[in-house]
Amino acid sequence: MAEIKHSCQLRISTLGPPSVGLQKSGSKILAIACRDRRIHQPAGPAGHGGGMTTTTEYCLTQTEVDKGYQEMMKRGQNGECTYESFNLAGGKLDAVMLCKTGEGDARMTMNGTVTPTTSDFTATMAMKFADAPEGTMTFTAKHERLGDCPAK
């Protein structure tokens, strides 16, 4: 176990590094809640609310792989993010990420499984914004390597 700034704990098993190549990433919002009221809307024409799914493909480069799983899990997050904890022992993900943006702060817990070619986890994000009520959002995310990146 290695110490990182602010006495946070970082634990990584001997799991191999992520695999370079074309990746598919998908997420589905399970629930959104603001303060004491629960909002759970199916995705509509506007494409927001509980039930919304997104899928993207991207090329994971060697440079990104060299930064490790911690940086990969920050992909798509807005603002400056750090970890309160990050445990990847035995391919089981147990992490807490803190993000600061111009709009406010977020604390996200992540639990699931990770291999060099896939990941499958559930996350709950508690958000605190200056001009909106506090809220939480729970979502699932899956990543998988599809193959080599297309030639440029």
Report pLDDT for 6: 33
All structural domains of the chain with their residue ranges: 20-39+54-147
Can you tell me which residue has the tokens 């986890």?
Answer: 121
Kindly give, in sequence order, each residue whose CB lies less than 8 Å from that of residue 33, ignoring residues fewer than 6 positions away. 39, 135, 136, 137
Residue pair 50/30 in contact (Cβ under 8 Å)? The answer is yes
Q: Which of 10, 53, 14, 13 is nearest to 30 (CA)?
A: 53
Report pLDDT for 8: 35
pTM of the model: 0.75
Question: How many Å apart are CA 91 and CA 106, to the nearest integer?
Answer: 25
pLDDT in single tens digits along all 152 residues of the chain: 333 333 334 444 456 788 999 999 999 999 888 765 545 444 443 444 567 889 999 999 999 888 888 887 777 677 788 999 999 988 999 999 998 887 788 899 999 999 999 999 999 999 887 666 788 889 999 999 999 999 87
